[in-house]
């Protein structure tokens, strides 16, 4: 086109992006950028409608969404978020075509709201719930591409629990739109940990070096006071810091969630954050326009220096000295340890368990493992029993810790208690699923899978525990796809697992898989030994217990065996299996069947005789 023509006044989409990019970065040099508050909780409060899937209101109740955007703008915010936090296939439970419609409408409504106001518009993207064995990056790409096509320049990734995918998707956006401004925020509890057990400080440190990310911070879960305390510990290098707290801590009445109307207090805390040099402030759950109005008024007259450029500092309490773990020391020195599993009782009678533990101690067993509500049935708590065994008998316990029944708060509380009691070995497992018929009555409370739980404990080891835990993990040598099992095991090792306990080895294939694991995994392995007590028992385990396979040859041996013959078979087969796996393991993990301690002690006697010979 010719210079001076009328068309030269029309800016391209990229020129518009460049102009906005310069504006927001220049704005942040001398101003605190104040965001809006919570769309979801405010929409539910105004419309008396459920909070679930409020993003669908972009289509079915667009006037309400537009009205809320305008309320926040009138309150004094300088940035609003699109109503698209949960706009993904999993949260909306629909094909991507439905997600696309929600995002398009949400962006259109937000753009209408900011038109002519000078308020910045951010594409709001929340975490896609974890799906096993599925790479979620492709869906994040599709969401980002859609926003970019709509003209988005600014992106807010909020309420994440891990940094997974974020550096990758931020780089993807910057490749397509180099001038994009990208904020990443993580939902942390008052102790600085996310729901998945990741340290917010370590995530901050990790992402501080990512050139594609412009601002990092925390939002949700915690109220303003606790996020202020965490914010005081943050200093970023070449990054803006963003903090968006909840209004406080909610109350649930008649299945509805309410936040206190403490807008004045909220604004006071936000002012303190601004004084700390936090460049981007806003509100999360429970923050209505009044919260933003009072915050904007408090900060308006504050003269702010340019945000400091420093490295992050983590001032969490660091454990002083790390005590040795005698059990792990034995393994490191090449001693083949023996651990025996006992099931906790389903009632308050623990006499058998205590007698069994004492008997095993007399038989030179190195550790006793205690199952955590096996097959998802309530039993005496494995961690409490571990403390009792250590205190009263002096044994080394390894309590199992499932991810199924506890959220992050309960998990941390339990770990703190175990550590105080000197129990510093723990086996992390995802846990058997709750049967479908019980799910209305018994709810899983998991924030984790076993790899994520291991990572959480590893982080606590680094920052909290003077006596760090040795983290044990499960290895299913009977898995149909053992390559996938090895991949999962490597992930566990990355997250802090140093010893694996295998499922019982009762087939040739399981033995081959054990050999492969021993060859490729940089971790110690305790080989699983499970005595079979009868043909009926063999059939049950082979057909109903996940992760256990019994070879046809062993099944045949038991088919017509008497009770005494079956008992002898249990001892002989288990003793033989100990010999066969010896070259590939660092110890043994014996599982007591049906309280048949006599069988286990006979196997132990054979093992000791073999060692003596």
Where residue 404 sits, what CATH number does that domain have?
A: 3.20.20.220
Query: Binding residue per annotation — 91?
Result: no
Q: Which residues of 162-186 are buried (b: 16+ CB within 10 A; e: fewer)?
A: bbebbbebbebbbeebebbbbbbbb
What 377-385 contacts at long range (C-beta under 8 Å, 24+ apart), as own/partner pairs, is: 377/346, 378/346, 379/343, 379/344, 379/345, 379/346, 380/344, 380/345, 380/346, 380/348, 380/350, 381/344, 382/344, 383/414, 383/417, 383/418, 383/423, 385/344, 385/350, 385/353
415 with 501, same domain: the answer is yes
- Distance (Å, rounded) from C-alpha 105 to C-alpha 147? 11
CATH of the domain at 28: 3.20.20.330
281 with 342, same domain: the answer is no
38 with 126, same domain: the answer is yes
Which residues lie closer than 8 Å to 23 by C-beta, 6 or more apart? 120
Give the residue carrying structure tokens 């702010």.
304
Beta bridge mates, 529: 590
288 with 378, same domain: the answer is no
Domain boundary, last residue among 257, 285, 300: 300
Q: What is the DSSP letter of 222?
A: S
- Distance (Å, rounded) from C-alpha 104 to C-alpha 220? 25
360 with 418, same domain: the answer is yes
Q: What is the DSSP letter of 317?
A: P
341 with 294, same domain: the answer is no
337 with 277, same domain: the answer is no
* Total residue count of the chain as it appears in this document: 613
296 with 342, same domain: the answer is no
The alpha helices in 85-136, defined as continuous H runs, are 89-92, 96-114
Q: Does 41 map to a domain? A: yes
pLDDT at 219: 96
Judge contact between 445 and 415, C-beta under 8 A: no
Give the residue carrying structure tokens 């299945």.
255
273 with 399, same domain: the answer is no
439 with 489, same domain: the answer is yes
Q: Does 560 map to a domain? A: no
Query: Binding residue per annotation — 403?
Result: no
Residue 199 main-chain phi, psi, to 5 deg = -75, 125
Judge contact between 414 and 387, C-beta under 8 A: no
Domains: count for the chain: 2
pLDDT at 466: 87
Q: Does 260 map to a domain? A: yes
Domain boundary, last residue among 280, 300, 320: 300
Q: How far is CA 534 from CA 48, 505, 545, 595, in A?
A: 61, 17, 15, 14
User: Does the predicted TM-score (pTM) go above 0.85?
Assistant: no
Q: Does 552 map to a domain? A: no
For the chain, helix, strand, coil in percent to 5 are 45, 15, 40
295 with 343, same domain: the answer is no
Query: Domain range holding 276?
Result: 23-300
Q: Strands (DSSP E) along 79-214, which ranges? A: 79-81, 120-125, 154-160, 181-187
Residue spans of the chain under pLDDT 50: 1-22, 253-254, 305-312, 314-315, 432-446
pLDDT at 5: 31
How buried is residue 117: exposed, middle or buried, by Cβ count under 10 Å (0-12/13-18/19+)?
middle
Q: Does 451 map to a domain? A: yes
pLDDT at 22: 44
Which residues lie closer than 8 Å to 205 by C-beta, 6 or more apart? 312, 314
Q: Does 48 map to a domain? A: yes
Judge contact between 248 and 262, C-beta under 8 A: yes
pLDDT at 310: 35
384 with 270, same domain: the answer is no
pLDDT at 441: 35
Q: Does 420 map to a domain? A: yes
Q: Does 497 map to a domain? A: yes
Domain boundary, last residue among 300, 324, 347: 300
Kindly compute the dihedral angle of the four CA atoms of residues 224, 228, 231, 233, in this order, to the nearest 10 degrees.
-150
């Amino acid at each position: 086109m010719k210079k001076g023509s009328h068309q030269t006044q029309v800016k391209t989409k990229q020129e518009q992006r460049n102009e906005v990019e310069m504006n927001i970065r220049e704005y942040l040099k001398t101003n605190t950028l104040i965001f809006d508050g919570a769309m979801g909780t405010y929409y539910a409060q105004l419309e008396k409608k459920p909070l679930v899937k409020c993003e669908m209101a972009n289509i079915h109740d667009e006037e309400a969404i537009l009205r809320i955007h305008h309320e926040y703008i009138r309150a004094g915010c300088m940035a609003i978020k699109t109503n698209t936090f949960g706009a993904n296939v999993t949260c909306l439970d629909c094909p991507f075509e439905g997600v696309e419609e929600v995002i398009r409408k949400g962006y259109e409504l937000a753009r209408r709201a900011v038109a002519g106001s000078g308020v910045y518009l951010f594409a709001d993207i929340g975490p896609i719930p974890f799906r096993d064995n599925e790479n979620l990056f492709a869906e994040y790409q599709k969401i980002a591409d859609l926003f970019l096509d709509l003209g988005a320049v600014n992106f807010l990734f909020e309420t994440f629990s891990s940094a997974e995918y974020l550096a990758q998707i931020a780089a993807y956006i910057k490749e397509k739109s180099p001038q994009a401004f990208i904020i990443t925020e993580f939902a942390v509890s008052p102790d600085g940990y996310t729901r998945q057990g990741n340290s917010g400080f370590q995530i901050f440190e990790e992402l501080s070096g990512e050139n594609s990310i412009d601002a990092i911070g925390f939002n949700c879960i915690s109220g303003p006071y606790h996020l202020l305390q965490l914010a005081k510990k943050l200093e970023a290098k070449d990054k803006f810091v963003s903090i968006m707290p909840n209004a406080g801590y909610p109350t649930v009445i008649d299945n509805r969630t309410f936040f206190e109307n403490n807008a004045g207090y909220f604004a006071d805390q936000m002012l303190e954050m601004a004084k700390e040099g936090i460049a981007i402030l806003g509100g999360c759950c429970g923050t209505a326009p009044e919260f933003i109005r009072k915050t904007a008024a408090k900060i308006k007259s504050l003269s702010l220096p340019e945000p400091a450029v420093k490295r992050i500092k983590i001032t969490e309490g660091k454990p002083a000295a790390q005590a040795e773990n005698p059990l792990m020391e034995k393994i490191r020195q090449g001693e083949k340890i023996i651990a025996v599993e006992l099931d906790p009782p389903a009632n308050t009678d623990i006499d058998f368990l205590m007698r069994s533990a004492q008997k095993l101690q007399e038989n030179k067993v190195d550790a006793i493992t205690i199952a955590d509500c096996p097959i998802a049935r309530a039993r005496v708590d494995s961690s409490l029993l571990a403390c009792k065994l250590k205190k009263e008998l002096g044994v080394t316990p390894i309590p199992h810790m499932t991810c199924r029944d506890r959220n992050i708060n309960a998990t941390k509380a339990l770990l703190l208690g175990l550590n105080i009691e000197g129990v510093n070995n723990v086996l992390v497992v995802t846990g058997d699923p709750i049967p479908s018929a019980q799910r209305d009555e018994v709810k899983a409370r998991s924030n984790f899978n076993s790899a994520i739980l291991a990572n959480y404990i590893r982080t606590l080891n680094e920052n909290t525990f003077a006596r760090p835990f040795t983290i044990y993990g499960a290895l299913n040598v009977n898995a149909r796809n053992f390559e996938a099992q090895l991949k999962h095991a490597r992930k566990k090792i990355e997250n802090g697992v140093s010893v694996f306990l295998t499922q019982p080895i009762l087939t040739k294939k399981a033995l081959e898989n054990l050999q492969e694991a021993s060859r490729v995994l940089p971790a110690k392995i305790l080989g699983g030994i499970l005595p079979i007590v009868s043909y009926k028992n063999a059939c049950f385990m082979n057909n109903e217990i996940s992760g256990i396979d019994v070879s046809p040859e062993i099944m045949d041996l038991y088919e017509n065996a008497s009770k005494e013959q079956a008992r002898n078979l249990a001892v002989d087969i288990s003793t033989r299996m100990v010999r066969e796996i010896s070259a590939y393991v660092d110890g043994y993990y014996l599982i007591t069947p049906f309280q048949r301690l006599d069988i286990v002690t006979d196997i132990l006697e054979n093992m000791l005789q073999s060692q003596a010979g």
